[in-house]
């Protein structure tokens, strides 16, 4: 069985959604974990308690990574190291989705999205890489992308661009850091049910439409991302570098979905 015993991980944005699924999967795989969120809350306490129930050390740090990059990255890095000095796994999960139609996009929304989704992962990885290189430690980095880094949507231009950048960060940081024994990979969820995608549960017609666009016909919860994340940062993936694992039910491989059966019958 793949396990992460002996490792310590920081997962940004890990009080809910995909980040929570990953940090809890890490804990139950044996890793000590640092949970990160913008503020302390009942959610952060719940995640802490659940991770500690796995018998590992779990700590919480707070910080808003959408703020001025040079300041917030330094603060999150320093706080994470202070509570868990031996961190050797970084998961850049914190992100935002606040798009509007392209012709209505404003610089403030665009800049906030890019700071959180691209700038913070880029420079937080740099902080940890410098520390690992100085300590001659083998680090592991996991970037959390999205199906939107592969397939575009007309009203999500900013989010799509940011996740496309994350997909290229996986490759460019891989070739930059692999010589220092630092592995960089990525995990890209398709549509999963999280607080950011609450419309899925609120609109049954929309959920049916998205299931139609997914080969396996499912819109699962974020827990489907946990095992893949564990694998990518584990010793079992020691020769896996620069790879973006699509956890999308096959959506990224489907040129266009089949017509619903009743449409096909109507055309027959």
Active-site positions read 159
The Cα diameter of the chain in Å comes to 67
- Angstrom CA distances, 98 to 43, 109, 117, 160, 266, stand at 22, 7, 11, 11, 39
Residue 80: CA atoms inside 13 Å, Cβ hemisphere, count? Answer: 30
Q: Residues 153, 101: contact at Cβ < 8 Å?
A: no
DSSP, residue by residue, 40-106: --HHHHHHHHHHHTTTS-EEEEE--TTS-HHHHHHHHHHHHHHH-TT--EEEE---------GGG--
Residue 226 buriedness (CB in 10 A; 0-12 / 13-18 / 19+): buried
CA 157 to chain centre: 19
Length of the chain: 268
């Amino acid at each position: 069985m793949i396990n992460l015993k002996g490792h310590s991980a920081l997962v940004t944005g890990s009080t809910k959604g995909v980040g929570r699924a990953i940090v809890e999967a890490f804990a139950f795989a044996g890793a000590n974990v640092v949970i990160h969120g913008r503020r302390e809350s009942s959610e952060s306490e719940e995640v802490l308690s659940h991770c500690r129930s796995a018998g590992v050390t779990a700590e919480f740090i707070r910080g808003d990574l959408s703020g001025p990059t040079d300041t917030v990255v330094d603060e999150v890095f320093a706080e994470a190291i202070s509570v868990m000095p031996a961190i050797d796994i970084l998961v850049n999960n914190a992100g935002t989705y606040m798009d509007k139609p392209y012709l209505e996009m404003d610089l403030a929304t665009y800049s906030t999205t890019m700071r959180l989704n691209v700038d913070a992962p880029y420079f937080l990885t740099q902080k940890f890489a410098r520390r690992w290189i100085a300590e001659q430690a083998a680090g592991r980095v996991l970037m959390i992308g999205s199906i939107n880094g592969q397939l575009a949507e007309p009203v999500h231009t900013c989010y799509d661009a940011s996740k496309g950048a994350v997909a290229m960060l996986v490759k460019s940081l891989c070739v930059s850091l692999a010589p220092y024994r630092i592995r960089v990979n990525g995990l890209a969820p398709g549509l999963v049910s999280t607080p950011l995608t609450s419309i899925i549960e609120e609109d049954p017609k929309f959920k049916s439409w998205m299931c139609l666009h997914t080969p396996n016909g499912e819109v699962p919860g974020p827990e489907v991302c946990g095992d893949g994340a564990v694998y990518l940062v584990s010793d079992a993936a020691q020769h896996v570098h620069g790879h973006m694992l699509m956890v999308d039910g096959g959506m990224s491989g489907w040129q266009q979905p089949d017509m619903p059966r009743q449409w096909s019958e109507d055309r027959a």
